[in-house]
Amino acid sequence: MESHEVVKSCLAEMSPKELARELGVSVSLVYKWSQPTHDQHSGALNPLDRANQLDAVSKDHAVARWMAEKADGFFLPNPPVEEEARPDYVTCMNQLVREFASLLSTVTQAAGDERISRIEAESIRQRWDELKADTEGFVAACERGDYASISQQALDRCGLKRVGA
């Protein structure tokens, strides 16, 4: 989805006049933000385009992470596509399931005394973030039918080698 389409979707929630008033800008600028900016279109770079530009120069997706946190979410970048031999994806999938079960067991044990320490919480968060990243990479590869793109980092964490490598 393009940024101007996201702005248009906001206009389904409130009128351009209401949005302009809420943001402290003119109605005409809101209309320009809802149009494509390339070629002959009269659109203007909107706040989403600017946030994307800022995120691109941050190198660590600081803006995307911040936006996700503000939306009560979590930013998870897609893993890089690697052009290598195909991994044993069934084994990787099974390992992801085992890792998830292990994480749940850790959470259950940590909560056994009805409190989770800061150190336990940090450990759980780190494992969860790694598992989410690995799982998202696997799912994205499955959606594309491109198992070669499952990151080596994910395979390393699963203790797997690529088939034919």
The string of DSSP codes covering 79-112 is PPP--SPPB-HHHHHHHHHHHHHHHHHHHHHHGG
Residue range 106-115: mean pLDDT, rounded: 84
Residue reference for tokens 């940024």? 3
- One-letter amino acid of 35: Q
Q: What dihedral do alpha carbons 52, 58, 61, 65 form, nearest 10°?
A: -90
Query: 49 and 37 in contact (C-beta within 8 Å)?
Result: yes
Query: 96 and 139 in contact (C-beta within 8 Å)?
Result: no
Q: At what angle do helices 118-144 and 89-110 cross, to 10 degrees?
A: 160
Does 163 have pLDDT greater than 70? no
Q: Identify the pLDDT of residue 20.
A: 94
Which of helix, strand or coil describes residue 56? helix
Q: Identify the pLDDT of residue 132.
A: 85
Query: Which tens digits make up the pLDDT trace of 24-70?
Result: 999 999 999 999 887 566 668 899 999 999 999 988 888 998 998 99
CA 77/CA 61 separation, integer angstroms:
8
What's the pTM value of the predicted model, to 2 decimals?
A: 0.52
Between 30 and 153, where is the model more confident? 30
Residue 87 φ then ψ, to 5°: -80, 165
